[in-house]
Amino acid sequence: MAGLSLSLILFFLFVLLPGNFALLVAGKTGKGERSLGRIIGVGALVFSFVLIVTFFLRSFGLSNILDDFIFAVVTFSSGEASINLKNLNFGSVALMFGLTYIAAFVFGMLDILLLTSWTKPQKNWLEYQLKKVRKKGGAQFRLSPGKLLLDVMVAYRIAGRRPYLRLWFKDGRKVEGECLKYSWGGTESLLVRDADIPEKIIWISLDAVEQLELLDFRISEEDKEMEKKRLVLDFIEPGLSDEFFDKRS
């Protein structure tokens, strides 16, 4: 019974909590983004990474933290903690705990960086996807468990273009203008520069928005932003730019 209780405590402290923490750092606060399965998966990945790192430290004789941690777990699970209390290295256990949460934080930050900043790998991946789509003869319908608007905003970010939006509120009001910033994780919101009053910047909670329109994709001659527009559309769905521009021009 003591072994079972210890297993649950270890699972909670070294898998569930780190997994949840990593997802929170990454801005994943929606129910679908923080399902129990995803929390366990991320937590297991984080803890496995820490175990691998401490194993290599042990292999090269740099640290015995893994040995001390395993000894503490075995001692507590066997019920001999009171006997071997003096032999336990609580500093190593605390360090293992700290390393796990540091790793969870790093994993969460890496997720944000991969999503918003490391554009070259994503562009290379897009080129590969475009080849597949064009070989099949057209854009495909895709299902995604993530936030759709976040995916669209990331597409604009990678393409280096600000979205031009028209927002319809639930009370019937309308705002049109250039989106300066988008925030997710909790209440989704936008900073929009009003097209009618350019010196005015409006903070808008998406909870109050009924409909959002993207107005960037009108065809015009000698469009200097055409390449960026194509990138946005193809990041939304590979091959979509061909449908918007090639078939309409």
Tell me, yes or no, if the pTM score tops 0.85. Answer: no
Report the SS3 class of residue 237.
Answer: coil
Amino acid sitting at position 20: N
Where does the chain hold its CATH 2.30.30.100 domain(s)? 119-246
Task: Select from 181, 183, 128, 116 the least CA-distant residue to 155.
Answer: 116
Q: Give yes or no for a contact between 38 and 108, defined as CB atoms under 8 angstroms apart.
A: no
Kindly give the confidence (pLDDT) of every residue in the chain, 249 residues in length, as a single tens digit, with 9 standing for 90 and above. Answer: 455 587 888 899 999 999 999 998 887 776 667 788 889 999 999 999 999 999 999 888 888 888 888 888 877 777 665 556 666 778 888 999 999 999 999 999 998 887 776 666 666 667 666 666 666 666 566 666 667 888 888 888 888 889 999 999 999 999 999 999 998 877 889 999 999 998 999 999 999 999 999 998 876 555 677 888 888 888 888 877 877 776 554
176 has which bridge partners?
Answer: 166
Q: Give yes or no for a contact between 139 and 243, defined as CB atoms under 8 angstroms apart.
A: yes
Antiparallel, parallel or unpaired: β 209-214 and 164-169 = antiparallel
CATH of domain 119-246: 2.30.30.100
Amino acid sitting at position 162: R
User: pLDDT (tens digit, 9 = 90+) per residue, 160-176?
Assistant: 889 999 999 999 999 99
